[in-house]
Amino acid sequence: MPSIYYLAANDWLNITFRLCLALLVGAMIGIERELRHKPAGLRTHMLVSFGAAVFTLVSLATGSERPDADALSRVIQGIAAGVGFLGAGEIVRQSSQESTRTEVRGLTSAAAIWVSAALGIAAGCGLWQLGLIAALLSLLVLNIFKRFES
């Protein structure tokens, strides 16, 4: 029996479903960030999730029924590290033109970008239940637990 991760390169319906799911879960996080007027909003989160799904799909569409688990692991590691650069750009900024001190802001937005990438990986692997549940739990964290911060 083929693995859940298996993907034939000519399975257009499955590829389309996984990519659309990646866009959906990225949009779920992105809309919340957009409503809070954060610099990384809807399109950013959708593209991060979509890009992560594309990278994942490339590693899965090997043409054999047993994709290389090591290759998939390396792709996921690369996505996680690469998205860190986007998060870093979100976090470190100059506080103002008069001041030369650097302030740290945007940690939650950076984490949301990172989560969007993880959701895209789940979608790319065909784990749609995991992707949807994780997106809903992320929205819960972003909305409900905001009230507990000082």
Question: What are the domain boundaries of the chain?
Answer: 12-92+102-148
What are the structure tokens assigned to 87, written together? Answer: 């998060």
| Cβ–Cβ under 8 Å, residues 53 and 18 | yes
Q: How many CB atoms lie within 10 A of CB 118?
A: 22
Distance CA 83, CA 134 (A): 18
Q: What share of the chain is helix, strand, coil (3-state, %, to 5)?
A: 70, 5, 25
Q: What is the pTM of this model?
A: 0.87
Q: Would you state the pLDDT for residue 68? A: 80
Q: Which residues of the chain have pLDDT under 50?
A: 1-2, 94-96
Reduced to 3 states, what is the DSSP secondary structure of residue 92? strand
